[in-house]
Structure 1
Amino acid sequence: MLCATVFVIFDTVRTIQDARGQLALIGRAMASDLLDLSPETIVVTLNESIHAYRPDATATLRSADSAPVGLVSHDIAEGPDGIVSLELDQTEALAGIWQRGLGAYALALLIVVLTWRRPGAGDKPDAWQRRTYQTLASAIPLGVACWTKTGSLIVCNQQYRDRLSLNSSAVTYHDAVKQLIQGGYIKLLSEDNHNRLLELHREDGSCLMIDERPLGEGGFMTLVSDVTEAKRTDTLLNAIREEQRLLARRYHEEKLKAEAASRSKTNFLAHLSHDIRTPLNHIIGFAELMKHQTYGPLGDDRYADYVQSIKASGEHLLASFATILDLAELEGGQKQMRSDAVPVDDLLDGMAQRFRGQANRAGLTLVVGEPCGAVLTADRLGMQRMLGNIIENAVRFTPSGGRVTLAAFAAHDGVVLEVSDTGLGMSEERLASLSQPFALGDATFTREGIGPGLGISIARAIAELSGGRMAIDSSPSLGTTVAISLPLPMQDVMQAAE
């Protein structure tokens, strides 16, 4: 009985641990699909797809200071709105424990009775013992059969008969083995001097575990249990683990390829920029000499226009290659960002003064929002270039009579810089293409001097290197809003929290 009690305790702990392990594996297998989702969306997504792994599993959202509701749960995501947990139905998860516990106690009692024999008893038990054996065997929720040392059947319960499709009571151990082998195959798992463990695989896909244990005076007992669901669960877990290993390997390989491609791109652009900028400088220098007619007149007046065109085109190409090289350095992480104290209000006022003349010439109204009083720790020149690229696009693509607004909004943990315009706007397809460098879009955006289309890409790279993110919202004919969220210094966040 002590052994049965220990078995029940061990079985309960193991069942809970296995269930939690399954939830952890399922959570990791689905984690790659949940990176950019809010906790509420994660709950909906998980509840739609988790039933492919465990039909009895659900996803819940609870507060950070509350404990899990059930014994079988696993936390997979934590955010400001709470903790997302996977939970199993406690009744479903622990359903088999009481059955196995009852079987363990009944089996222990049966073994005690079987090993207790009256003096003078022969090889076969008498009628009283048979009734006792039959009563105990019927209470065990497993297929049970007891045999004499010669292989004659002493007693078996109905589950054992159903497993082997036995109709006659006069059956021997060899007959039972033949019946088991039909329609499947037996695999020996372990064997020693006392016990033998077998696994029976049937044609219908079911799997039975056969455990043979010794009894007194040479007899032995056969226990038959259905482990089909356990095998399917193990197969599923192994498949999930293998998929995780493959995904991790592919991710590592693709990461190495992407890093190598990024390094190659940066090196290529650096060499290309150097090789082209050197002759361009010569072209621009000689064009400047010819423009001033340093060594004498050119002759025809049209040559002066040609020289000016050569100089302007060379300077445009030189600026384009400088921009390309800057983007390559930013994306490759090779450009060091300084940590300057940057007052946000001064930054916006400076950018407004810089672009006010250009906006007036384009017939636009340039407006600066209310002060926010925040101070960023960032690269001052980088912040100016980031906002300058965005404001320049807003002024360029806003028709005369429009409006460009600069604003900043401060919170306890960060600042949002916002540039809005009432310009041409963009469709969803055009907006999606902005994440790709050199994307100039359709003919609506093809204007003189637009450049290689790297302004937004450079602004996004500076924002990300500064620890922030950039988001763009736009609608055709209504305008565009570019919002950049940047973190505040940690000491300011701590003071705001106090």
Structure 2
Amino acid sequence: MRPTEQSGDEAKRFRAPEGMVRGSWLRRTAIGALEWLLTRLTGRDAAHGYAALIDTLPFGVACWGADARLLASNDRFAERLGVSPDALSSGAAYHEVVKSLAQGGYMQSVREDFENRLLELHREDGSTLLIEERPIAGSGFVTLLMDVTESRRTNQLLTTVREEQRLLARRYHEEKLRAEAASRSKTSFLAHLSHDIRTPLNHIIGFADMLRQQPYGALGDPRYLSYVEAVKSSGERLLGFFGSILELAELEGGRREMRSDRFTADELLVGVFRRFAGQAQHAGVIFGLGGPCNAALTADRFALERMVSNLVENAVRFTPRGGKVTLAAYAGHDGVVLEITDTGIGMTAERLATLSQPFVFGDAALTRDREGAGLGIAIARAIAELSGGHLAIDSRQGLGTTVAVSLPVLAEQAAKAA
């Protein structure tokens, strides 16, 4: 927009925007004071009154009469024009001043109508001025100049940051969808693979067991029986591996329907203790059971037995002869904690960080001569979370490991405890 000369009548009709910064208390106060002075001061007194007031304002101000001639301006207005304050004499024409202001740049209308006008002046040096013009009650109008270069740069920077954040959020969402799709594909693949392999494995185990019994006559050399026994035990081990894979795939894929059985934590632990007492004794490990806690649970009993069994089996497996494994439960006002503690070989912090990842064994020293598919902790954690609980592990290498599973108790019991 190119500046044009205004007549006195046009100046009287001219109206400007509500403010360079909407809601600015300082701007409203300054313009209100100018209006008050204009209605009470005339002639030379008016010019002196304007000058005294506008010199206190922190932005450039120029006051114009009804004939579009300069009444008064402050030093900051002259600085924006690039001239000394003495060069702006009273009575200067509005269009000449605006023309000088716009040299070496261009103006852009931000808002303009019959009552107000707001302009932006973009200069060759990269600075930006905001020009606001509005009438003063009675006659004349006022021009306000503000340097908004830094604020515009800040706004542009914020806009750039927001755009980058938006792009990052979109990429995160896309990557999350890809990861979820990959996880579903992996789970489906493992489920189908496990199911398809278990069927021929059952046939191998069945025929090996039949050959071991020699229903149609002796096999001949006694070594054949040892070979058949190795085939059968290896098949059973593989069947257990693929059974664990299928179970984990069902849990992660949400295809395992969790029942709502009602039982006590003591019943759960006693059943697991009886199941592993013989195994612990055979391994030379002391197996202890804590006292009763009388906490009632509502969950899938079979799934929780599977969870605790996996944890106890790991504890017994990684505890040397003479060590101790303790199974206990502790009741709180809103839940119960099942705790499996051992004095086994323990784990390093690096090993502990990858423990819940399926198929991760870590150091070979932890798995040499020890059976397992590396899925026990992963399955236990999945069951705990599907049961509304949480699994936490604390371990120190050479000292042992403690696994704690927190589970919610029955609502009426929680209310009674509270």
Q: With structure 2 as the length reference, what TM-score do the two structures score? A: 0.86
Q: Over residues 1-32 of structure 1, what are the superposed CA-to-partner deviations in whole Å (9 max), with x where a residue is unaligned?
A: xxxxx99xx83xxxxxxxxxxxxxxxxxxxxx
Work out the CA distance in 2 between the residues paired with 1:285 and 1:183: 95
Where 1:400 maps in the other structure, the secondary structure is: coil
Report what 1:107 is aligned to. Answer: 31
Corresponding residue for 2:226?
A: 305
CA contact (8 A) 1:197 1:211 kept: yes
**Structure 2 gap segments, 5+ residues each:** 1-17
Moved over 6 A (4+): none
State the match for 2:46 in structure 1: 129
Deviation by residue 1:49-104 (Cα, 9 ceiling, x = unmatched): xxxxxxxxxxxxxxxxxxxxxxxxxxxxxxxxxxxxxxxxxxxxxxxxxxx42442
Asked if structure 2 preserves the Cα contact closer than 8 Å seen for 1:106 and 1:139, the reply is no
Give the distance between the partners of 2:124 and 2:263, measured in 1 at CA.
74
Equivalent position to 1:261, from 182, 185, 191: 182
Give CA-to-partner distance per residue, 1:230-263, whole Å, 9 cap, x none: 5455445544543453344234323322332222
CA drift at 1:116: 6.6
CA, structure 1 residues 238+490, in 2 after alignment: closer, same or farther (shift >3 Å)?
A: farther
Structure 1 unaligned regions, length at least 5 = 1-5, 12-99, 119-125
Q: Following the alignment from structure 1 to structure 2, what is the Cα–Cα distance between the partners of residues 228 and 258? A: 44
Match of 2:309 among 382, 388, 392: 388
For the Cα contact (< 8 Å) 2:260–2:298, is it kept in 1? yes
Question: Compared with structure 1, are the counterparts of its residues 433 and 160 closer, same or farther at alpha carbon in structure 2 (3 Å cutoff)?
Answer: same
Give the Cα–Cα distance (whole angstroms) in 2 for the partners of residues 415 and 105 of structure 1. 66
Give the whole-Å Cα distance in 2 for the aligned partners of 1:316 and 1:363. Answer: 23
CA distance in 2, matches of 1:203, 1:352: 84
| Residue 297 of structure 1, CA deviation | 2.4
Distance 2:276 2:122 in 1: 79
Contact 1:189 1:199 in 2 (8 A): yes
What displacement does 1:175 show?
4.7
For 1:169, give the aligned amino acid: L
Matched pairs, number: 395
Match of 1:158 among 59, 75, 98: 75
Task: Calculate percent identity across the aligned residue pairs.
Answer: 58
Given the superposition, is the C-alpha separation of residues 160 and 434 from structure 1 closer, same or farther in structure 2, using an over 3 Å criterion? Answer: same
Look up the match of 2:264: 343
Contact 2:31 2:136 survives alignment (8 Å): no
Structure 1 residue aligned with 2:173? 252
The 5-angstrom pairing of residues 29-40 of structure 1 reads: none
Per-residue Cα deviation, 1:436-469 (whole angstroms, up to 9, x for no partner):
1011121211233522110010001101111111
Equivalent residue runs for 1:471-490 within 5 Å? 471-490=392-411
Q: Which amino acid aligns with 1:382?
A: A
> Which residues in structure 2 correspond to 1:181-260 (within 5 Å)?
181=102, 185-202=106-123, 206-215=127-136, 219-228=140-149, 230-231=151-152, 234-235=155-156, 237-239=158-160, 241-260=162-181
- Residue equivalent to 2:345: 424
Task: Decide whether the 8 Å contact of 2:191 with 2:245 is kept in 1.
Answer: no
Structure of larger gyration radius? 2
Paired position in structure 1 for 2:296: 375
Residue 393 (structure 1) shift? 0.8
Give 1:281 shift: 1.7
Q: Is the 8 A contact 2:34 2:136 kept in 1?
A: no
Aligned to 2:3: none
Cα drift, residue 324 of structure 1: 0.1
Mean Cα displacement is larger for which, 207-216 or 285-294? 207-216
Q: Would you say the 8 A contact 1:115–1:215 is kept in 2? A: no
The equivalent of 1:169 in structure 2 is 88
Report the equivalent of 1:412: 333
Distance change (3 Å), C-alpha of 1:248 and 1:393: same
Over 3 Å counting, the alpha-carbon distance change for 1:463 and 1:205 in structure 2 is farther
Aligned to 1:363: 284
Amino acid corresponding to residue 143 of structure 1 in structure 2: G
Structure 2 residue identity aligned to 1:378: A
Are residues 184 and 479 of structure 1, via their aligned partners in 2, closer, same or farther at CA, if it must alter by over 3 Å? farther
Aligned partner of 1:440 in structure 2 is 361
Contact 1:437 1:453 in 2 (8 A): yes
Shift of residue 342, structure 1, vs aligned partner = 2.6
Match of 2:238 among 297, 310, 317: 317
Q: Using a 3 Å threshold, how does the CA distance of structure 1 residues 164 and 435 change in structure 2: closer, same or farther?
A: farther
Partner of 2:212: 291
In the TM superposition, what is the alpha-carbon distance from 1:392 to its structure 2 partner?
Answer: 0.7
Could you say if the C-alpha distance between residues 428 and 203 of structure 1 is closer, same or farther in structure 2, counting changes exceeding 3 Å? farther
Mean Cα deviation higher: 457-466 or 172-181: 172-181
Find the counterpart in structure 1 of residue 9 from structure 2.
none
The yes-or-no answer on 1:494 pairing with 2:418 is no
- Partners in 1 of 2:213 and 2:295 — Cα distance? 50
How far residue 131 of structure 1 moved from its aligned partner, in angstroms, is 0.9
